[in-house]
Amino acid sequence: MNAILTMSGVVKSVDEANRVATVTINNADYAGIALQGTMALNNGFVQIPTVGSQVGVTFYSQTSGFISCFSALDKILIDTTLLQFNGGENGGMVVVPNLVTKLNKLEDDLNNLKTVFKTTWIVAPMDGGAALKAAAATWAGQSFTDTKASDIEETAITH
């Protein structure tokens, strides 16, 4: 092959770690076909094709090439310092584990107050709320720390 040529084939296997695939074209297997059209195979935008799917392989030598089009993908890998959607004006994406931790603290706190009302506090006639104040004293003495965007935001992905 002297010129760049694109041929259709079927993905036989994928080596995601090395970002290459084996593609069957006209009953011949071509191993080491790059998953992206760049020499830096450890970063960038990489589409992982589904085994058994149709792909287009663009050859730049007799046996070397890269997958240039896909019929089905298992996943997309994006290695970059910023991924921005629709201008990024809405800030970073939520880091779910951090948000869940914050919500769980709020839920635990409300459950503690419910426990005070349900089990600890007993109405005492004519005490002016002193029994409730005593029962809720431990709960009321604990304050929350205000949430900052940086507590729950991933700034490398904005939307």
Give tens-digit pLDDT for 71-82: 999 999 888 888
Cα–Cα distance for residue pair 116/134, rounded to 1 Å: 10
Last residue of a domain, one of 20, 50, 79: 79
Q: What is the pLDDT of residue 67?
A: 95
Of the listed ranges 89-93, 106-110, 120-124, 149-153, the least confidently predicted one is 120-124
Q: What is the pLDDT of residue 1?
A: 46
Are residues 64 and 88 located together in one domain of the fold?
no
Are residues 121 and 152 located together in one domain of the fold?
yes
Give tens-digit pLDDT for 16-56: 999 999 999 999 999 999 998 876 667 788 999 999 999 99
Last residue of a domain, one of 46, 79, 112: 79
Give tens-digit pLDDT for 109-127: 999 888 888 887 788 888 8
What does R_g of the chain's alpha carbons equal in angstroms? Answer: 29
Q: What is the pLDDT of residue 37?
A: 80
Residue 135 has which token pair?
């029962």
* Residue-wise burial string across 105-141, b where 16 or more C-beta atoms lie within 10 A, e elsewhere: eeeeeeeeeeebeeeebeeeeeeeeeebeebbeeeee
CB atoms within 10 A of CB 73: 11
Residue 84 has which token pair?
């921005």
Q: What is the pLDDT of residue 41?
A: 64
The parent domain of residue 121 ranges over 84-158
**Which pTM was predicted?**
0.64
pLDDT at 2 over 80: no
**Residue 49 near residue 11, CB atoms below 8 Å:** yes
Last residue of a domain, one of 79, 111, 144: 79
CA dihedral of 41, 47, 48, 50, whole degrees rounded to 10: -150
